[in-house]
Amino acid sequence: MDELGDAELVVRIVAGDERALMVAYDRHGATLFGIAVRFLGDRESAAEVVQEVFLSLWQRGARFDVAAGSLIAWLIGIARHRSLDRLRAASRRPRLVRTPTGDGRGGAGSGLEDVASTAGGRAAVMAQGAEADPAVEVDRRWTRSVVRASLAELPEAERHVLVLAYDEGLSQSQIAARLGLPIGTVKSRTRRAMAALRARLVEIPELMDR
């Protein structure tokens, strides 16, 4: 069962195979939980979101179209909707806490972060500064959460080449020289890392529509 591809796994889940559901959870649950915790800032709400995602997979797995993308991307898309629902619900609640940041961003009348407290824990900040569009801000934070969670899961060797490319602006050949590796090895590591990130980001319509 562990060797099955995601598409076969979903076929079994749709047929009511409980073990297949657990294999799917073992394969993707930690990723989804990591993203949701980073987005919602609260383990309890994140756990509830992940449960809702797998309930959707169990009940509506037939809607997954393998031709349209990977299972993890589909699940991340569901998690995003569920997380945003929670955020919207939270933003309708009364303000409970204001968090001055102490660096000039906080304080009355200076672009306060408008916050809301959910029944289950902390929700995310809805930035309401003059120049910040809350919807854009929320999309951006979801994207950050996906990127952060994905980076944290990359193998060390793949992360390292990305760090050299982004933080030091090195080209692939410069990275190869720095690490003393064949250029092909560096390229394949970078490709794998970038492909993993891309696969998890394609379900964010706003990102792809820019």
Using CB under 8 A, which residues numbered 92 to 111 contact other proteins?
96-101, 103, 105
Report the alpha-carbon distance of residue 143 to residue 140 in Å, rounded: 5
Q: Are 176 and 162 in contact (CB under 8 A)?
A: no
Least distance to other proteins from the beta carbon of 23, Å?
Answer: 11
Q: How far is the CB of 181 from other proteins (least distance, A)?
A: 14
Give the contacts of 34 (CB within 8 A, at least 6 positions apart). Answer: 149, 152, 153
Classified as helix, coil or strand, 121 is strand
Residue 191 beta carbon to other proteins: minimum distance, rounded to whole angstroms: 6
Distances (CA, A) of 90 to 27, 78, 147: 30, 19, 24
- 29 touches other proteins (CB under 8 A): yes
Out of 1, 89, 163, 177, which residue is the one contacting other proteins (CB under 8 A)?
Answer: 163
- Note whether 116 binds other proteins by CB under 8 A: yes
Judged by CB under 8 A, which of 33, 61, 112, 176 binds other proteins?
A: 33
Selected from 84, 147, 157, 179, the binder of other proteins by CB under 8 A is: 147
Subset of 66-85 contacting other proteins (CB under 8 A): none
Helical residues (DSSP H) of 67-171, grouped into ranges: 71-91, 134-153, 156-167
Interface with other proteins includes 143 (CB under 8 A)? yes
74 and 64 Cβ atoms separated by less than 8 Å:
yes
